[in-house]
Amino acid sequence: MAKNQQSLEREVKLLRKQVNTLNERVRDRFDFLLDELKEIGYRNKFSLERNESNVVSMVSAIVPKKNLSDLVLPFDVESQVIMALKQINNYSKLVKGYGLKKILKTNTIALNFIGLPGTGKTLTAEVVAKHLGKKLYVVRYSDLVDSYVGETSKNIVKVFNYARENSAVLFFDEADAIASTRTNVMNATDSENNLVRNVLLKELENFNGVVIFATNLAENFDKAFERRIHMHILFKMPEAPDRERLWKTLCKGLKVHKDVNFKELSHRYSFSGGNVRNAILNAARVALNSNKKSLTMEDFVKGCDLVEKGSLSMTSSGVNKELRYIG
């Protein structure tokens, strides 16, 4: 009986492998024919739907839940974000009221969020999408890369088309990997990388929507990208008053003991927003371990100390030079 079961399982695995191979061949053939049809000017309204399964693996679709009230940023940074939102919401007024029709042909806006991890770049992208009533499509370069020549560029086109058809905000995380300075062509890899950047520039110009890039290595950005970015926004590490606001905002609705002093915590620990979040999670774990009914000042201090010790451990081991935590 066991042998029969093992034999059946092997056959099922073999059939699954054959079906997957067949699906890949059909999909490759379909994509090839679709590209050929596009070359001769044919437009199939079902083409995106039938290719949707390919694109889904390249983007992380997020339904935004955070509002502007959830965003705690330095005043100057928040002002720039609000300025960008006003441009998007008042495109007609901007064009007609100031006679910018020749200069501003579409309501496209490309933003570049620059800053260390944990300073609020991804959260701000979510807030922008929420404010506009759109989904947020997060794209990472590693998900676009394909080993076959020319396929990475095609993937970029697919992602932009997918965002266009679904009226979504497109967010390129770790954008320096895809928008870095082009190089002199010394080999096939250089040629492919330059092609990818040229395609991205073209798609960016033709995209009638919101594209956000996020990076902590802005110096690597290609100059052509810099010119096509409408606003470069620097997400700085928060000062003590902003850290206090972060503590209060993130702890809103939590069971916090009256002995907790957020002002003292904000002066004692120079954390980014991401690390404040992780310190709160650590404090909750400490309180849980002691079966406490609420989070005390002692719990928060211990939670912060765990974050600091984790940072020192990562830095001294040479693994990481930045404050990065997973909560």
Winning range, highest mean pLDDT, from 29-38, 40-49, 64-73: 64-73
Task: Write out pLDDT tens, residues 163-173.
Answer: 999 999 999 98
Q: Please indicate, yes or no, whether the overall pTM of this predicted structure exceeds 0.85.
A: no
The architecture that CATH gives domain 59-235 is 3-Layer(aba) Sandwich (3.40)
What pLDDT band is residue 193 in, cutting at 50, 70 and 90? low
Look over the chain and give the mean of its residue pLDDT values, rounded to a whole number: 80
Contact between residue 303 and residue 286 where contact means Cβ atoms under 8 Å apart: yes
Taking the C-alpha atoms of residue 50 and residue 27, their distance in angstroms, rounded to an integer, is 10
CA distances (Å), 129 to each of 150, 171, 174, 314, in order? Answer: 31, 10, 18, 34
Please name the residues in contact with 316: beta carbons below 8 A apart, sequence gap of 6 or more: none
The architecture that CATH gives domain 240-316 is Orthogonal Bundle (1.10)
The reported pLDDT for the residue numbered 320 is 47
What mean pLDDT do residues 236-247 have? Answer: 94
Q: When comparing pLDDT for 8 and 68, which is higher?
A: 68
What pLDDT band is residue 50 in, cutting at 50, 70 and 90? very low
What pLDDT band is residue 11 in, cutting at 50, 70 and 90? confident
The fraction of the chain above a pLDDT of 70, given in percent, is 74
Winning range, highest mean pLDDT, from 20-24, 44-48, 227-231: 227-231
Taking the C-alpha atoms of residue 175 and residue 236, their distance in angstroms, rounded to an integer, is 18
Q: In the structure encoding, which two tokens stand for residue 31, read together?
A: 């994509």
Whether residue 313 is predicted with pLDDT greater than 80 in this model: the reply is no
What pLDDT band is residue 208 in, cutting at 50, 70 and 90? confident
Taking the C-alpha atoms of residue 267 and residue 136, their distance in angstroms, rounded to an integer, is 34
Whether residue 323 is predicted with pLDDT greater than 50 in this model: the reply is no
CA distances (Å), 116 to each of 77, 314, 327, in order? Answer: 14, 16, 17
Where is 190: in which H helix or E strand?
helix 188-206
Q: Where are the beta strands (DSSP E) in 174-254?
A: 210-215, 231-235
Contact between residue 210 and residue 111 where contact means Cβ atoms under 8 Å apart: yes
What pLDDT band is residue 264 in, cutting at 50, 70 and 90? very high
Whether residue 40 is predicted with pLDDT greater than 80 in this model: the reply is no
